[in-house]
Structure 1
Amino acid sequence: MDGTNRMIVQLRDRQFLKELSLLRVVDREQAKIVAGFGSTTRANTRLLKLTRAGLVRRFFLGSGGGRKALYALSEKGSLVADAPARGPRRSQGAMLVADAFVEHQLAVNSIYCTVKFGKMPGQGVTFHRWLAFHETIVPELRLIPDGYMEFITPAGIFAAFLEVDLGTESLAVWREKTRQYLQLALSGAFHRVFGQDRFRALVLVNSERRLESIRKAVSAVTEKIFRFATLDDARTEFFGPIWTKPNSNQPESIFEPKP
């Protein structure tokens, strides 16, 4: 390609740039997973070349020894990948002490990496697709989930929305969000837009205390649809018996038979 820093854009590069368009911003470990880099050295080398070629923007979160390099798709990279650049508008080389949007998106991405590139639970379950949203999913509702995933199972398609909570939303917001999800399920809008009959709303939080608070708020509105777990558990045992219902402390798998 033309430019001061010439490089041959490989198929793996294009695939990585497309993933970066979907994920908005990634750290090195997430880049290793979605691009299939086998080593940290190889990842660092290629990420540096992509940065110098202007295909990705690199900036930093934190300071001192805790500083982390982050990568977002540039406008030039979006042209190469034929995919929109929806990452955070941070300047090349910027140093950020804290950034709530970035930290939230990295948490969402960690689940994407787990469900798409991690080990499936067996029993005929395979990853099917993931959707990210940049506006409300249907015009009549104010819902913008953090993600939507589908798995192919022996019982059919399992569909689920993802909500990641890092403690920034009030419980009043959660009660309203619960009502919105109920309306999505009961109005027929979900089937119209996604082509499936039912869904789960999977809620991931950063502490057991926060989990109990949100679960209590949701259970005041409904005992259906929602399942809860911590981010730490979901990153390591997403398909395991870590999920609880609004009105029960008994953990179960998301693929438990429906009543």
Structure 2
Amino acid sequence: MSASRRPALSERDLTVLRLLLRFRLLTTRQLQRLVMTDGSPVTRDRRMRAVLQRLRRIGVVRPLERHIGGIRAGSEGTVYRLTTAGMRALNHSDGTQRRRIGGEPGERYVRHILAVSELYVQLTEHTRESADEVLAFDAEPTSWRSYASAYGGTLTLRPDAFVRCASGDYEQASFVEVDLATESPATVGRKCRAYSTYARSGTEQRRIGTFPRVVWVVPHERRRHQVAAVISRLAPEDQPLYLATTTDEAVAALLGQLPDSAGGAR
């Protein structure tokens, strides 16, 4: 697209595109909570929908085609993603390296990505009303870590997010696993052991000076107890690395405001 034909994008437009690049999927409501902070709720909603309608019209964003259960409950629940034209616009504006835009994602993938996005939205909203800070929030694939295997070759750890927060004089780094209660206890255990292996490699400690807490964010108390039970069966020296918490307490957990406990149970 020539410069003369390239649509003019405001800084707010670019903010929306950057958020969609960073998190891959966001609902109208999530974008409104991140981007539109002034005015009444009705005004913020109307303005956000107008921005998205314009960006959709010029082809830089698009909504998902399918309805994902109860997610698309009216326009607030419409799920948006970046288009190839949107990627080109970011490349032109920011020098962002282009990446391939995949096909229509499945329901389970969408729900998981939106749950990770929601965690960032909630942290952002919390810090607007407090002295706490979000110093880093890296979603996939930026959150991934590659390291040398003890047996040769390279392994890759794939956290859902890497988060670093400051609360007063305290700073906490966390790897986040957003769990929708769809994985078996055996799968949860394998993921925990992968983190323990990475911790023993010392790679992250050399990178940031410490090993992050591994925070499992789960939908309800029953699932929290299930994940905590898996953690309690890990090697005793590994158990303090992990914490299982519900979505209701996730922000406090990532800020280091929940009490420590053995085996992830509180």
Q: Secondary structure at the match of 1:163?
A: strand
| Cα displacement (A) at 1:220 | 0.6
Q: Against the structure 1 CA distance between its residues 74 and 212, is the aligned structure 2 distance closer, same or farther, given a 3 Å change threshold?
A: same
CA distance in 2, matches of 1:157, 1:236: 13
Range moving further from structure 2, 201-210 or 235-244: 235-244
Name the aligned partner's letter for residue 143 of structure 1.
L
Alignment partner of 1:180 is 2:194: yes
Structure 1 position 33, deviation (Å): 2.2
Q: How does 1:121-136 map to 2 (within 5 A)?
A: 125-134=132-141, 136=144
How many Å apart are 1:80 and its aligned residue?
1.2
Residue of 50, 57, 62 corresponding to 1:57: 62
Q: Is the 8 A contact 2:133 2:167 kept in 1?
A: yes
Structure 1 position 239, deviation (Å): 4.6
Whether 2:130 is the aligned partner of 1:100: answer: no
Quick check: 1:213 aligned with 2:219?
no
Q: Does structure 1 conserve the Cα–Cα contact (< 8 Å) formed by 2:127 and 2:134?
A: no
Say if 1:204 and 1:229, in contact at 8 Å, map to a contact too: yes
What amino acid does structure 2 have at the position aligned with 1:184? Y
Q: Hey, what does 2:88 align to over in structure 1?
A: 79
Write the distance in 2 (CA, Å) between the matches of 1:86 and 1:37: 31
Give the alignment of 1:89-238 within 5 angstroms.
89-90=103-104, 99-119=107-127, 125-134=132-141, 136-139=144-147, 140=149, 141-153=155-167, 155=169, 157-192=171-206, 194-221=207-234, 222-234=238-250
TM-score by length of structure 1 reads: 0.79
Q: TM-score, normalised by structure 2?
A: 0.78
- Give the unaligned 5+ runs of structure 1: 91-95, 251-259
Counterparts of 1:9 and 1:227, CA distance in 2:
42
Shift of 1:125: 3.6
Q: How far did residue 153 of structure 1 move?
A: 4.8
Structure 1 residues 87 and 112, CA gap change in structure 2 (3 angstroms)? farther
Spell out, residue by residue over 1:164-222, the C-alpha distance to the aligned partner (whole angstroms, 9 max, x if none): 11122221111121112112222211123x42313111111112111111110111103
Identity over the aligned pairs, expressed in percent? 24
Q: Distance in 2 between matches of 1:248 and 1:10?
A: 45
Q: What SS is found at the alignment partner of 2:111?
A: helix
Structure 2 distance, partners of 1:249, 1:78, is: 43
Conserved 8 A contact 2:165-2:172: yes
Aligned length: 240
Aligned mates of 1:166, 1:108 — CA distance in 2:
11
How far apart, CA to CA, are the structure 2 residues paired with 1:170 and 1:32? 35
Note the C-alpha offset of 1:155. Answer: 4.5
Higher helix share: 2
Partner of 1:254: none
Task: Could you tell me which runs of 5 or more consecutive residues in structure 2 were left unpaired when the two chains were aligned.
Answer: 39-43, 150-154
Question: Corresponding residue for 1:257?
Answer: none
Mean Cα displacement is larger for which, 38-47 or 7-16? 7-16
